[in-house]
Amino acid sequence: MNKGTKVSDSSPFKGEQEGVRAIILAAGTASRLRPLTSNTPKCLLKVGERTLLQRSMDALIKAGIREFVIVTGYLHEQIEAFVQQTYGDSISVRFIHNKDYATTNNIYSLWLARPEAEGQEVLLLDSDLLYDGQIVERVLADKHENVLTLIRHELGEEEMKVVIDPPLPSLEGKDPSKSPLKGETFSLPLREGWGGSITEISKTCDPALAAGESLGIERMGKAYTTALYKELDGMMNSEHLENKFYELAFQRLIPCGYTFTVLDVTDLFSCELDTVEDFENAKQRIPAELF
């Protein structure tokens, strides 16, 4: 097994996360990252010694995850070959191919994972994230059944914004333009007594009302995934919303009583990688111990 997959004997997360399945969405073309993605899927781009996909899978394996479902699309053969060559039979992996990746969004990839995810406890991740693997450990250690990771920084129109009630404490005295992406963390206590459940999640909500941005890592319990795929059934088969973000389904489940507890992970490194400039900057920002 390649570097990063060994679990330390002293790790509190050593052992199996029985019943928890990782769903990794890796179908997109990442056109804004061309020419880097002209012949390579985004999740197989390297930062430091490892690809983005390997970094996520290593973190998941270290935290005890052994079952993986990877939804592929663009250049899927490369992803399948990489996973097999890197991990072999040490984990269980099922690939699901989204043949309509060029005309659909991540909600459709999530829909295709229905046979492996409905009624199951899952950890949902975008495949192109760059983040500290401790985030996965915190998500799995959280006592709540449904957990969504959040990072706090200055928000604009592009981010998937999260509104919660009650709100998180003020960042008074902190410069909101300086986020972990720019090298500064907010040194505030985490989690205990902070915030509540999500009341809105979208790109279009007022940034002034939002607590922060969804990182793209969510844990869902069995009741949530059952309700989620019931909602997705109508969205795909009746409304034909295949080209939306999956957070639209999260938003529509809130009035039905299904939502997430927010886990603030602003103090740990994470980085958005949408453009070539983002990617080059990430190589400079990533902490040395993660490189």
pLDDT band at 178 (very low <50, low <70, confident <90, very high): very low
pLDDT at 180 over 60: no
Say what the pLDDT of residue 6 is.
Answer: 33
pLDDT, mean of residues 259-288: 88
The residue among 171, 192, 168, 191 whose CA lies nearest residue 180 is 171
Query: Which alpha helices (DSSP H) does 23-152 contain, by range?
Result: 52-62, 76-87, 106-112, 114-117, 134-141
The ranges assigned to domains in the chain are 20-290
Whether 42 shows a pLDDT value over 50: the answer reads yes
Fold of 20-290: Spore Coat Polysaccharide Biosynthesis Protein SpsA; Chain A (3.90.550)
- pTM, two decimal places: 0.85
pLDDT for 155:
86
Lowest mean pLDDT among 12-26, 86-100, 150-164: 12-26
Looking at per-residue confidence, does 281 or 27 come out higher? 27
Residue 274 predicted with pLDDT over 60? yes
State how far Cα 253 lies from the chain centre. 19
More confident residue, 201 or 281: 201
Which pLDDT does position 234 carry in this prediction?
97
Mean residue pLDDT of the chain comes to: 85
Assign 170 a pLDDT band (cuts: 50, 70, 90). low
